[in-house]
Amino acid sequence: MDSALHVVMFTDQHPHTLGGMQTSVELQRKFLSRAGHRSTVVSPALRGSEAAPDPDIVPMPTLPLGPGEYGMAIPSKRAIATVIDELRRRGNIDVIHVQADFWGAAVGYAVAAALGIPVVHTMHNHVEAGLRATMPLPGLFQRAFSLMQRRVLHTGGPTPADAWAYLRGFASRAAVVTAPSTHFAELLQDRGVCWKAEVIPTGLDDDVARELLAEPRERAPRDRPVLTWIGRFSAEKRLIPFLQAVAASGITAQVDIFGDGAERHRAQRLAADITASTVTFRGRVPYRRMLTEVRRSDALVQTSQGFETQGMTVYEAAALGTPTVLSDHRIAADLPAELLWLTPDDTVAGLARALSRATADLRDGQRAGTRSVDPERFLQSRQTELMVAAYRRAMSGR
């Protein structure tokens, strides 16, 4: 029988904040524990929360990152030494799992080097596209992160000139690199970040999936199909183009929008002018509730382009038998074709045409077939098994 492991995960944000990486970490923690393993998370502190601290989370000194819930850790020598001391008090560590790309990654690799522990790195973030989509001066931010990496990890080489060289600086120190999708693994390999990235996606919580799949879903087609959009209200997620496409298409649907963010007020103003469809902002909801809404909706709409490294909500919808109107065609590589309507191009007009086609199919009862879809392949227990195997390979030096 294989021995139980102690895995220490390093993240750029506290796992109780909103985001795909955070969901991935929480699911990994849950299913590692269920398999008899132990996990500890090192992350920035949780801002503005009165909840009792989680004993398995080691907070780093944190500075606010904008007005919301996010923070950034400064990877100083003192902060790294404090993390090392705390982890030593927690006993033997078998492997470090870096699920970060910025300050969490720098601290994680520094700690791994100091303690002589192998690293498995899951690259969640398309850094080049992400900085370009979210930062006013992406080149300046990239150089700052590259300088941070060089200083903290004492690389001795030239400062990485771009995002791919920056990620290579981490990957070259990892025993195993994983990616959450085939398309992103191939991109990492093509850009020379690593010679091989294993594909281990974030899965759907087994308990929630089986409970929801047990509910009968057969129903008559609705005259006003229910479309669900989920994500941060930020430019890279393309909520505004989605609402523009709803208006341009003239579809009659119930559009439910889950999430929050900086573009809320603009989105609400756009939605107020839409008359053919009813647009409802549902706010942020717990993970279980969000999946329930996906299962009960007629289709998910995913609108970001070239930004997602997995597109978790699309995987979750597929596991629950809910089809998706999909803008980013690269995400389609790992998903059943019968569960997708792909946009013809990257424009608002193209998205509007896809929405029109999807709602017409749904009203006619031509819902994409789901009988051929095996939900087991999307469950988190399976992904955790694959990751534990990666941990053991890293520990053995293979």
d(CA 145, CA 131): 11
Three-state secondary structure along 295-314? HHCCEEEECCCCCCCCCHHH
Beta bridge partners of 60: 44
CB 226 within 8 A of CB 256: yes
Domains belonging to the chain, first-starting first, are: 6-203+379-396 (3.40.50.2000), 206-377 (3.40.50.2000)
pLDDT given for residue 371 in this prediction: 54
Identify which of 92, 108, 76, 82 has the alpha carbon closest to the alpha carbon of residue 175: 108
pTM: 0.84
Q: Which residues contact 176 (CB under 8 A, 6 or more apart)?
A: 119, 120, 121, 198, 390, 391, 393, 394
pLDDT given at position 53: 83
- Asked if 341 and 245 count as a contact pair (C-beta separation under 8 A), the reply is no
Predicted local confidence at residue 396, as pLDDT = 92
The rounded radius of gyration (Å) of the Cα atoms in the chain is 21
Query: Mean pLDDT for each consecutive 10-residue tract of the chain (398 residues)?
Result: 91 89 93 97 85 88 84 93 96 96 96 97 89 82 93 88 94 96 93 95 90 79 94 90 96 95 93 95 90 93 84 87 91 85 94 96 74 76 96 90
Would you say 58 and 47 are in contact if contact means Cβ atoms under 8 Å apart? no
